[in-house]
A and B are shown apart, each in its own frame.
Chain A
Amino acid sequence: METIMAFAVGGMVAGAVYLFLSRQLLRVLFGVILLSNAVNVAILLVGRLTPGQAPLIGQGQEVLGQGLANPLPQALILTAIVIGFGLLSFVLALVYRGYQELGTLDSSQMRTAEPEDAV
Chain B
Amino acid sequence: MFSWTGFPVAFSGIEGQLGTFSSLTGPVLVDGGFSVPILAWTCNPKRESPAAAMLTAIGIIFLAAALAPTLNRLFPSFAHWLLALAPAGGFVWFAGQLATVVGGQPVAESWKWVPALGVELAFRLDGLSLLFALLITGIGTLIVLYSGGYLRGHRHEGRFMLFIMAFMGAMLGLVLADDIISLFVFWELTSVTSFLLIGFNHADARSRRSALQALLVTGGGGMALLTGLILLGTAGGAGSLSAIAAKGVDLTGHGLYLPILILLLLAAFTKSAQVPFHFWLPNAMDAPTPVSAYLHSATMVKAGIYLLARLSPMLGGTDIWFWTLTGFGALTAFWGGAMALRATDLKKILAYTTLMALGTLTMLVGLGTDYAIRGFAAFLLAHSLYKGALFMGAGSVDHGSGTREVRELSGLFRAMPLTGVFIALAALSMSGLPPFLGFIGKELIYEGLLTADRPVLPVLVVSILANATMLGAAGLVFVKPFLGAPSKAAAHAHEGGLTLWLGPALLASLGLLLGLYPSILDGLLGQVAASVRGEPLAVELHLWHGLTPALGLSAITVALGIGFYLALRPLTAGLAGLQRFTRFDADKGWDHILNGLDALARAVTGQLQGGVMTRYMAIIFTAMLLLLGATLWFRQALVLPAVDLHGQWVGLLLGIMMLVGTAGAMRARSRLGIITALSVNGLSVAMFFITYGAPDVGITQLMVETLTAIILVLVLAHLPALPKGPDRKPQAAFLHGILALGLGGVVTAILLAIIALPLPMTLSQFFGDTSYLEAYGRNVVNVILVDFRGFDTLGEITVVASAGLGVLALLKARYAKPKAKPQPGPQTGEVA
Question: Which A residues fall within an 8 A CB radius of B?
Answer: 1-24, 26-27, 30, 33-34, 37-38, 40-42, 44-59, 61-64, 68-72, 74-75, 77-79, 81-90, 92-97, 99, 101-105, 107-119
Contact = CB atoms under 8 A, between A and B. Distances in A.
Interface in B567-624: 605-606, 609-614, 617-618, 621
A14 B652 CA distance: 19
B728 A22 contact: yes
Contact of B651 (A4, A48, A50, A92): A4
Interface in B178-215: none
Identify whether the interface residues of B are mostly helix, strand, loop, or mixed: helix
A5 B300 CA distance: 68
A102 B630 CA distance: 41
A27 to B, nearest CB: 7
Given A50-B692, A77-B697, A96-B811, A102 B767 contact: no
Given A14-B743, A52-B692, 19 more contacts: A5-B655, A7-B655, A8-B654, A17-B736, A21-B736, A24-B723, A27-B674, A42-B751, A51-B691, A57-B768, A59-B778, A72-B764, A93-B810, A95-B719, A102-B822, A103-B823, A105-B719, A109-B825, A111-B611
B270 to A, nearest CB: 35
Contacts of B613: 23, 107-108, 110
Interface string B499-536: 00000000000000000000000000000000000000
18 contacts: A7-B655, A8-B655, A16-B662, A19-B665, A34-B662, A40-B701, A59-B778, A72-B784, A75-B785, A78-B697, A86-B803, A87-B803, A89-B807, A101-B815, A102-B824, A105-B720, A118-B611, A119-B611
B13 interface: no
B382 interface: no
Interface stretch (B282-290, B476-484, B704-712): B704-712
Given A5-B651, A64-B768, A54 B800 contact: no
Contacts of B700: 78, 81-82
A18 B815 CA distance: 34
Nearest to B718: A96
B789 interface: yes
**Which of B611, B751, B807 has the most C-beta atoms of chain A within 10 angstroms of its own C-beta?**
B751
A113 B831 contact: yes
B708 A6 contact: no
B752 interface: yes
B682 A22 contact: no
A54 B728 contact: no
B831 A96 contact: no
Interface stretch (B24-32, B421-429, B769-777): B769-777
Contact of A83 (B715, B763, B799, B828): B799
Given A45-B755, A55-B768, A115 B736 contact: no
B250 interface: no
A10 B747 contact: yes
B621 A34 contact: no
B821 interface: yes
A42 B609 CA distance: 32
Chain A facing B: main interface SS: helix
Contact of A21 (B695, B740, B821): B740
A45 B711 CA distance: 29
Interface string B713-739: 001101110110001100010001101
A38 to B, nearest CB: 8
Given A41-B688, A56-B779, A82 B796 contact: yes
Contacts of A75: 781, 784-785, 789
Nearest to A40: B685
Contacts of B767: 64, 71-72
Contacts of A63: 768-769, 771-773
A95 B712 CA distance: 12
B780 A56 contact: yes
Given A82-B800, A111-B829, A8 B708 contact: no
A23 B759 CA distance: 41
Contacts of B614: 21-23, 107-108
Contact of A88 (B611, B708, B793): B708
Contacts of B769: 63-64
A23 B718 CA distance: 19
B829 A3 contact: no
A86 B793 CA distance: 14
A62 B716 CA distance: 51
B744 A81 contact: no
Contacts of B780: 55-57, 64, 71
B566 interface: no
Nearest to B720: A105
A40 B723 CA distance: 31
B78 to A, nearest CB: 54
Nearest to B806: A90
Contacts of A10: 744-745, 747-748, 751
Given A64-B769, A109-B825, A13 B744 contact: yes
A11 to B, nearest CB: 5
B694 A69 contact: yes
Contact of B806 (A5, A19, A93): A93
B666 interface: yes
A88 B613 CA distance: 19
Contacts of A78: 696-697, 700, 781, 785
A78 B762 CA distance: 21
Contacts of A56: 778-780
Contacts of B823: 103
A46 B774 CA distance: 27
A54 B695 CA distance: 7
A53 to B, nearest CB: 5
Contacts of B779: 55-57
Contacts of B678: 30, 33-34
B739 A83 contact: no
